[in-house]
Amino acid sequence: MTASGPWQWLLVATLLVLGCLFAVDAWRLAIHQREQGSRIGVLSALGGGLITGLSVGLATLNLQMSFDASTKYATWRADVESAASIPGFTPGDRDIRGINFSGKELRDADFTDVDLHGVQFRDAILKGAVFDGANLQEANLVGADLEAASFNTTDLRGALLQSANLTHAAVNGTTADKYAGAQVNGRTCWPRNVDRAILRTVEVKSFEKRDDSILTVRGEEREDGVKGGEIAPGCHLGER
Protein backbone atom coordinates (compact mmCIF):
# COMPACT_ATOMS: atom_id res chain seq x y z
CA MET A 1 0.00 0.00 0.00
CA THR A 2 1.07 3.55 -0.58
CA ALA A 3 0.71 6.41 1.84
CA SER A 4 -2.49 8.37 1.56
CA GLY A 5 -2.08 11.63 -0.29
CA PRO A 6 -3.99 14.94 -0.13
CA TRP A 7 -6.10 13.95 -3.16
CA GLN A 8 -7.52 10.98 -1.25
CA TRP A 9 -8.67 13.19 1.58
CA LEU A 10 -10.11 15.66 -0.95
CA LEU A 11 -12.11 12.83 -2.53
CA VAL A 12 -13.45 11.76 0.85
CA ALA A 13 -14.42 15.33 1.70
CA THR A 14 -16.18 15.71 -1.68
CA LEU A 15 -18.16 12.51 -1.17
CA LEU A 16 -19.17 13.65 2.29
CA VAL A 17 -20.41 17.01 1.01
CA LEU A 18 -22.33 15.42 -1.89
CA GLY A 19 -23.86 12.77 0.36
CA CYS A 20 -25.01 15.38 2.84
CA LEU A 21 -26.44 17.59 0.06
CA PHE A 22 -28.42 14.72 -1.46
CA ALA A 23 -29.69 13.63 1.94
CA VAL A 24 -30.75 17.16 2.88
CA ASP A 25 -32.44 17.68 -0.48
CA ALA A 26 -34.33 14.41 -0.10
CA TRP A 27 -35.44 15.39 3.39
CA ARG A 28 -36.61 18.81 2.14
CA LEU A 29 -38.62 17.26 -0.70
CA ALA A 30 -40.15 14.70 1.63
CA ILE A 31 -41.52 17.53 3.78
CA HIS A 32 -42.66 19.99 1.13
CA GLN A 33 -43.30 17.90 -1.97
CA ARG A 34 -44.68 14.55 -0.88
CA GLU A 35 -45.95 13.77 -4.39
CA GLN A 36 -42.41 13.53 -5.79
CA GLY A 37 -41.81 10.14 -4.22
CA SER A 38 -39.55 8.71 -6.93
CA ARG A 39 -37.22 11.70 -6.84
CA ILE A 40 -37.07 11.57 -3.09
CA GLY A 41 -36.20 7.88 -3.25
CA VAL A 42 -33.41 8.49 -5.75
CA LEU A 43 -31.90 11.33 -3.74
CA SER A 44 -32.15 9.34 -0.53
CA ALA A 45 -30.46 6.38 -2.17
CA LEU A 46 -27.71 8.58 -3.56
CA GLY A 47 -27.13 10.30 -0.24
CA GLY A 48 -27.16 7.05 1.70
CA GLY A 49 -24.85 5.39 -0.80
CA LEU A 50 -22.37 8.24 -0.72
CA ILE A 51 -22.34 8.38 3.06
CA THR A 52 -21.92 4.60 3.27
CA GLY A 53 -19.10 4.78 0.73
CA LEU A 54 -17.54 7.59 2.76
CA SER A 55 -17.60 5.44 5.91
CA VAL A 56 -15.92 2.56 4.08
CA GLY A 57 -13.39 4.95 2.56
CA LEU A 58 -12.49 6.48 5.91
CA ALA A 59 -12.09 3.05 7.48
CA THR A 60 -9.81 2.00 4.60
CA LEU A 61 -7.70 5.14 4.90
CA ASN A 62 -7.34 4.72 8.65
CA LEU A 63 -6.31 1.10 8.20
CA GLN A 64 -3.79 2.10 5.54
CA MET A 65 -2.33 4.86 7.69
CA SER A 66 -2.02 2.46 10.63
CA PHE A 67 -0.28 -0.08 8.41
CA ASP A 68 2.12 2.56 7.05
CA ALA A 69 2.96 3.76 10.57
CA SER A 70 3.63 0.18 11.74
CA THR A 71 5.86 -0.48 8.74
CA LYS A 72 7.86 2.71 9.31
CA TYR A 73 8.30 1.89 13.01
CA ALA A 74 9.42 -1.68 12.28
CA THR A 75 11.98 -0.38 9.77
CA TRP A 76 13.23 2.27 12.22
CA ARG A 77 13.57 -0.27 15.04
CA ALA A 78 15.45 -2.74 12.83
CA ASP A 79 17.87 0.02 11.77
CA VAL A 80 18.51 0.98 15.41
CA GLU A 81 19.07 -2.61 16.51
CA SER A 82 21.57 -3.29 13.71
CA ALA A 83 23.49 0.01 13.83
CA ALA A 84 26.77 0.17 15.74
CA SER A 85 26.91 3.97 15.85
CA ILE A 86 24.04 6.49 15.94
CA PRO A 87 25.39 9.97 16.82
CA GLY A 88 22.69 12.27 18.19
CA PHE A 89 20.21 9.41 18.55
CA THR A 90 16.78 10.29 19.92
CA PRO A 91 13.79 7.94 20.13
CA GLY A 92 11.23 10.75 20.18
CA ASP A 93 7.87 9.22 21.06
CA ARG A 94 8.79 5.77 19.71
CA ASP A 95 8.73 2.69 21.90
CA ILE A 96 12.28 1.43 22.56
CA ARG A 97 11.43 -1.28 25.08
CA GLY A 98 13.45 -4.43 24.40
CA ILE A 99 16.14 -2.74 22.29
CA ASN A 100 19.64 -3.69 23.45
CA PHE A 101 21.99 -0.68 23.22
CA SER A 102 24.99 -2.51 24.70
CA GLY A 103 28.24 -1.66 22.93
CA LYS A 104 26.63 0.94 20.67
CA GLU A 105 28.11 4.40 20.12
CA LEU A 106 25.40 6.93 20.98
CA ARG A 107 27.31 10.19 21.41
CA ASP A 108 25.09 13.19 22.25
CA ALA A 109 21.97 11.02 22.33
CA ASP A 110 18.83 12.66 23.70
CA PHE A 111 16.79 10.50 26.09
CA THR A 112 14.98 13.38 27.79
CA ASP A 113 11.92 12.12 29.72
CA VAL A 114 12.21 8.65 28.12
CA ASP A 115 11.27 5.49 30.03
CA LEU A 116 14.52 3.47 30.07
CA HIS A 117 13.61 1.13 32.91
CA GLY A 118 15.91 -1.90 32.69
CA VAL A 119 17.39 -0.92 29.31
CA GLN A 120 20.76 -2.47 28.41
CA PHE A 121 23.54 0.11 27.92
CA ARG A 122 26.48 -2.06 28.94
CA ASP A 123 29.78 -0.76 27.47
CA ALA A 124 27.87 1.79 25.37
CA ILE A 125 29.52 5.07 24.45
CA LEU A 126 27.16 7.77 25.68
CA LYS A 127 29.42 10.81 25.84
CA GLY A 128 27.37 13.99 26.10
CA ALA A 129 24.08 12.08 26.24
CA VAL A 130 21.09 13.77 27.89
CA PHE A 131 19.05 11.71 30.36
CA ASP A 132 17.21 14.62 31.99
CA GLY A 133 13.93 13.45 33.49
CA ALA A 134 14.47 9.91 32.20
CA ASN A 135 13.63 6.73 34.09
CA LEU A 136 16.85 4.69 34.34
CA GLN A 137 15.69 2.42 37.14
CA GLU A 138 17.58 -0.90 37.04
CA ALA A 139 19.20 0.04 33.73
CA ASN A 140 22.48 -1.74 32.96
CA LEU A 141 25.18 0.93 32.52
CA VAL A 142 28.12 -1.29 33.46
CA GLY A 143 31.26 -0.01 31.73
CA ALA A 144 29.31 2.70 29.90
CA ASP A 145 31.18 5.87 28.90
CA LEU A 146 28.95 8.64 30.27
CA GLU A 147 31.49 11.44 30.13
CA ALA A 148 29.77 14.87 30.19
CA ALA A 149 26.32 13.22 30.21
CA SER A 150 23.43 15.04 31.90
CA PHE A 151 21.34 13.42 34.66
CA ASN A 152 19.12 16.26 35.85
CA THR A 153 16.07 14.85 37.72
CA THR A 154 16.94 11.37 36.39
CA ASP A 155 15.70 8.32 38.29
CA LEU A 156 18.70 5.99 38.72
CA ARG A 157 17.38 3.79 41.50
CA GLY A 158 18.82 0.31 41.20
CA ALA A 159 20.87 1.17 38.10
CA LEU A 160 24.12 -0.74 37.53
CA LEU A 161 27.00 1.75 37.33
CA GLN A 162 30.00 -0.51 37.92
CA SER A 163 33.03 0.81 35.96
CA ALA A 164 30.88 3.54 34.43
CA ASN A 165 32.77 6.68 33.42
CA LEU A 166 30.89 9.72 34.73
CA THR A 167 33.74 12.20 34.31
CA HIS A 168 32.37 15.76 33.90
CA ALA A 169 28.81 14.41 34.02
CA ALA A 170 26.03 16.54 35.54
CA VAL A 171 24.90 14.28 38.38
CA ASN A 172 24.00 16.79 41.10
CA GLY A 173 20.77 17.83 39.36
CA THR A 174 19.23 14.61 40.70
CA THR A 175 18.50 14.24 44.40
CA ALA A 176 20.45 11.59 46.30
CA ASP A 177 17.35 9.46 46.92
CA LYS A 178 17.06 8.92 43.15
CA TYR A 179 20.37 6.98 43.35
CA ALA A 180 19.08 4.62 46.05
CA GLY A 181 20.21 1.08 45.34
CA ALA A 182 22.37 2.09 42.37
CA GLN A 183 25.39 -0.22 42.25
CA VAL A 184 28.97 1.05 41.88
CA ASN A 185 32.43 -0.40 42.38
CA GLY A 186 36.00 0.80 42.77
CA ARG A 187 36.18 1.57 39.05
CA THR A 188 33.12 3.80 38.91
CA CYS A 189 34.45 7.20 37.89
CA TRP A 190 32.51 10.12 39.42
CA PRO A 191 32.90 13.79 38.49
CA ARG A 192 35.01 15.81 40.93
CA ASN A 193 32.06 17.90 42.14
CA VAL A 194 29.77 14.96 42.94
CA ASP A 195 27.48 15.48 45.93
CA ARG A 196 28.77 13.35 48.81
CA ALA A 197 25.17 12.51 49.69
CA ILE A 198 24.97 10.56 46.44
CA LEU A 199 28.05 8.53 47.36
CA ARG A 200 26.46 7.63 50.70
CA THR A 201 23.30 6.43 48.93
CA VAL A 202 24.73 4.06 46.32
CA GLU A 203 25.62 0.42 47.00
CA VAL A 204 29.17 -0.81 46.45
CA LYS A 205 29.13 -4.18 44.69
CA SER A 206 31.48 -6.06 42.38
CA PHE A 207 30.44 -7.48 39.03
CA GLU A 208 31.57 -10.17 36.64
CA LYS A 209 34.59 -9.39 34.48
CA ARG A 210 34.69 -10.29 30.80
CA ASP A 211 36.54 -13.53 31.58
CA ASP A 212 33.61 -14.46 33.85
CA SER A 213 35.74 -14.37 37.00
CA ILE A 214 34.43 -12.31 39.91
CA LEU A 215 36.42 -9.67 41.73
CA THR A 216 35.43 -8.75 45.27
CA VAL A 217 34.96 -5.10 46.10
CA ARG A 218 38.23 -5.13 48.04
CA GLY A 219 40.00 -6.74 45.09
CA GLU A 220 38.76 -4.01 42.78
CA GLU A 221 39.93 -1.37 45.23
CA ARG A 222 43.41 -2.91 45.26
CA GLU A 223 43.53 -2.77 41.46
CA ASP A 224 42.77 0.94 41.09
CA GLY A 225 43.53 2.25 44.58
CA VAL A 226 40.08 3.82 44.91
CA LYS A 227 37.42 2.93 47.44
CA GLY A 228 34.17 1.88 45.81
CA GLY A 229 31.77 4.74 45.09
CA GLU A 230 34.30 7.49 45.79
CA ILE A 231 35.79 10.05 43.43
CA ALA A 232 38.64 8.66 41.39
CA PRO A 233 41.08 11.56 40.78
CA GLY A 234 41.79 11.80 37.07
CA CYS A 235 40.15 8.45 36.46
CA HIS A 236 39.37 7.30 32.96
CA LEU A 237 38.36 4.05 31.32
CA GLY A 238 40.61 4.35 28.32
CA GLU A 239 40.28 6.30 25.10
CA ARG A 240 37.13 5.53 23.12
Question: What are the pLDDT digits (tens) for 133-144?
Answer: 999 999 999 989
Instruction: Dump pLDDT digits (tens) for 83-140.
Output: 999 999 999 888 998 999 999 999 999 999 999 999 999 999 999 999 999 999 999 9
Please state the pTM of the whole predicted model.
0.68
Percent of the chain with pLDDT over 90: 41
Least confident span in 4-13, 75-84, 111-120, 205-214: 4-13
Least confident span in 66-70, 104-108, 187-191: 66-70
Instruction: Dump pLDDT digits (tens) for 20-36.
Output: 665 565 556 555 555 55
pLDDT of residue 212: 47
Contact 159, 126 (CB under 8 A): no
Instruction: Compute the average pLDDT of residues 229-239.
Output: 57
Q: Average pLDDT, whole number, for the chain?
A: 78
